[in-house]
Amino acid sequence: MSCLTDRNIDSFKNFVDRLLKSPDQVRLDCFRLSHMICSWNDWNNGDHDFDISGWICAALCRGVKEIDLQLSYLEDVLPAVLFTCGSLVTLKLDAVGHNFKFPFDVCIGNLKTSHFRDSFFGDSVLRFISNCHALEDLAFFECDFYNTSEINIQTPSLKRFILDFNLGEFVDLKYMVVINAPNLVYFQYTDAVAQGYTLSTMKSLEKAHITLCGIDTIDSQTIATHLIQGMCNVRSLRLTINGVLLGEIGREIWLVEFLHRMPNLKTLTLNFPVVAGTQWKALEVPSCLSFHLKEIEISCFNTHMIEMVSYFLDNAMILEKLIINMDALTMTQKKKARNQLLQLVKSSKKCLKLVVLL
């Protein structure tokens, strides 16, 4: 998409100035601003002189409930009054590469939703979160924390929490992750394995999406297992393991131990590396597999997973639906695997629906 002309940019600026700074104080529900179609230099090169901070203040004076900013540069743009606004319910900030530093006296008493994207954070964001006592929906998308030894989220009001880091910039993580959010209903976590995890029991957790990489040692395996101790009540889990898992051994043991800690699980989706030679038949059977699991999806099936599928079919006593995604296979492999799966289902004598995605 091409950038706006100077004339159009000036027209837009003047329109917003008149709208927000007019004496007619009409209430404003939402203020959303994005300059993704142009670079920051095009918008703020001195010729146009956008007063974004003034626009935000004007929106706050009009009792705005939602602010959504998608700006590649936010330095000196966010006014301090933004972080003490009593009317604000939703705050979304998307600033590529921006280093956010929140003021000390933050208190957005009615804030329920806060989303951040493509930004860097220190300890000040944790202080900001702890002062938002009504917060229910918190998300960090492709963000990074720096100069902190602990990501500590102490927000009992939270119902939805996303901590989604950029795995493309994987480094050896030096921080602990501590989460006290006992009323979470949805939890999404994407990261390399941290130094450690402490999670309060999430007694209301319905759904979790967990994506991990860097599980290549016994210590990291143990730490990753600690991550799920607070998720023992989850009913629907999507588990993705990227890269090497414990070298070439122990994959099935680790997965089954993982499932042992989730006795109430009803839906399981796996994107999980499996190699030839894994021993499934000798493993103990988790109680969730015997008594609760009704749907299993294997999202990246390969030819080494037949034994894993057989293990699930033999032990999932109330299984109703099995979904197998064969996108990664050749046509010849798909045909052979499909016949094997049909034979396994027939042998299991279970009345279930088999869905094969080719």
**Structure confidence by residue, pLDDT tens digits, 109-118:** 899 999 998 8
- Per-residue pLDDT tens digits for 148-158: 889 999 999 99
Q: Using alpha carbons, select from 257, 333, 348, 261 the residue that is nearest to residue 302.
A: 333
Contact 242, 268 (CB under 8 A): no
Residue 268 has pLDDT above 90, yes or no: yes
Contact 300, 330 (CB under 8 A): no
Q: Which residue has the higher pLDDT, 321 or 124?
A: 321
The band of 4, judged by pLDDT with boundaries at 50, 70 and 90, is low
Residues 6+ apart with CB under 8 A from 258: 225, 228, 239
The band of 275, judged by pLDDT with boundaries at 50, 70 and 90, is low
What value does the mean pLDDT of the chain take? 84
State how far the alpha carbon of 158 is from the alpha carbons of 49, 137, 153, in Å. Answer: 39, 6, 10
- Per-residue pLDDT tens digits for 16-53: 888 887 777 778 899 998 865 445 455 555 555 678 88
Q: Where are the alpha helices (DSSP H) in the chain?
A: 6-21, 40-43, 52-61, 123-130, 218-227, 251-260, 287-291, 306-315, 331-348
